[in-house]
Amino acid sequence: MALYRVKQFIWGFTSLFKEIDYAYVTKFLNEEEVRIFNNLKNNDKHHCIRVCKDSIKMRNDLNIDVDIYKLGRAALLHDVGKGYVHLSLVEKSAVVLLDKISKGKIKKYDNIKQINVYYNHPKIGLDILKNNGFDFEKDEELLQVVRYHHSKDFIENNNILNIIKVCDDKN
């Protein structure tokens, strides 16, 4: 686990110097969705792109019957709640370490913005999308992905969510 966190920190740091692959992003997101995506910090954008690429690879490798466009769109937007409060790489690392050391007990201090966004970015992301015209009738799978991508609960009939949970965990 420690090595994984070191790898994440290095990815986050090196992402500061890389261009965002907007040609890739615009394959899956429309103009309004790109605007929402652009509220993320660069390291979170790169994370979402890695999750997207790994999700599509997993879909193809395992021959999972999901719409590639919907999968890519959901993967790129799954962390939009992190655009609500921008955490620096140091702040994010500190919260992750404190969470690990306290075995999750810091969650009760969610009145601190850094802790709030760390624990509640799925709910914040859901609210952002709903406030931008996304609705459950048309975008149910996507909204479930954003809301439940860190949940331990299994949601039946949403293979997109299940793929993204796996790929998010490894990125």
Q: What is the pLDDT of residues 21-67, one digit of tens each?
A: 999 999 999 999 999 999 999 889 999 999 999 999 999 999 999 99
* CA angle in degrees (0–180, nearest 5) for 167-96-93: 100
Give residue 136's pLDDT. 83
Domains of the chain by residue range: 2-169
Residue 97, helix vs strand vs coil = helix
Give residue 89's pLDDT. 76
Q: Is 85 exposed, middle or buried (0-12, 13-18, 19+ CB in 10 A)?
A: middle
Q: What does pTM read for this prediction?
A: 0.87
Give residue 87's pLDDT. 82
Q: How far apart are the first and last CA of the chain?
A: 12
Alpha carbon distance 134, 28 (integer Å): 16
Residues of the chain falling short of pLDDT 50? none
Alpha carbon distance 60, 157 (integer Å): 18
Closest Cα to residue 32, out of 123, 133, 127? 133
Asked: is 2-169 a CATH 1.10.3210 domain? The reply is: yes
- Residue matched to tokens 């500061």: 16
Contact 148, 155 (CB under 8 A): yes
Name 126's Cβ contacts closer than 8 Å, sequence gap at least 6.
81, 143, 146, 147
